[in-house]
Structure 1
Amino acid sequence: MGSSKAPSWSDQWGTGGLGSDNYEYEEGDKLKKSSSSNKMSSAKAAASAGMDKAKSAALVSADKAKSAAVVGAQKVKTGTFAGLKWFKNQYQKRSSK
C-alpha cells in the first residue's frame, strides 16, 4: 500500500498541485515543476492589457455618468425655477384681484 505510483493527496490538492499550471506530468506519472517564467510573463502581459481596457472603459463610463448627472441637475434647476415662477404668478394674480 505504501508503494503507490499515484501522487499523494498534498501533491494533487495542495498549493501548486495538479490543479495549478506550475506542474506537468512526466513519464511514469511523476509530477515535475515546469518553468513558469514564460507563462508568467505572458499572463502578466495579458492581464495588463485587459486591465488597461477595463480602465479606459471605466473612465469613459465615468465621464458619461458625470455628464448625465450635470444635465440632470440643470434640468432640475430650470424646472424648479419655472415652478417657483408659476407659483409666484398665481399668487400675484390672486392678491391683485
Structure 2
Amino acid sequence: MGSKAPSWSDQWGNGGFGSEHYDLEDEKMKKSSGSNKKMAAGMDKAKAAAIVGADKAKTAAVVGAQKLKGGTSAGIKWVKNQYQKRTSK
C-alpha cells in the first residue's frame, strides 16, 4: 500500500516555523514594535476615555430609572386617588 502522493508538507510548502520566510517576518514584527508601543499608548487612552464614558452613561441610566420609577409611582397614586374620589360619592 505504498502511496506515491506528495506529503502534506510537500503540498503546502515550507513556510512554517524555522523557515527563512517565517524568520524574516518575525524580524519585521520586532522592528515595528516601536510604532506598536505608540499605538498601545493611544489605545490605553481610548480605553480610559471609554471607561469614563461608560461610567457616566451608567450613572445617567440609573438616575433616569429612578426618575421614571418615582414618576410612575406618583402617577399611579394620582389615578388611584381620582378613582377613590369618584367611587366614594
TM-score by length of 1: 0.60
The structure where strand makes up a greater share of residues is 1
| Residue 36 of structure 1: how far off its partner (Å) | 5.5
Gaps of 5+ in 1: 1-34
2: CA distance between counterparts of 1:38 and 1:81? 62
2: CA distance between counterparts of 1:37 and 1:56? 27
Gaps of 5+ in 2: 1-26
2: CA distance between counterparts of 1:95 and 1:36? 84
2:63 maps to 1:92: no
Q: Alpha carbon RMSD of aligned pairs, Å? A: 1.7
2: CA distance between counterparts of 1:74 and 1:41? 49
Aligned pairs, how many? 63
| Residue 86 of structure 1: how far off its partner (Å) | 0.1
Change (3 A) 1:41 1:89: same
The structure where helix makes up a greater share of residues is 2
Matches within 5 A, 1:54-69: 54-69=46-61
TM-score by length of 2: 0.65
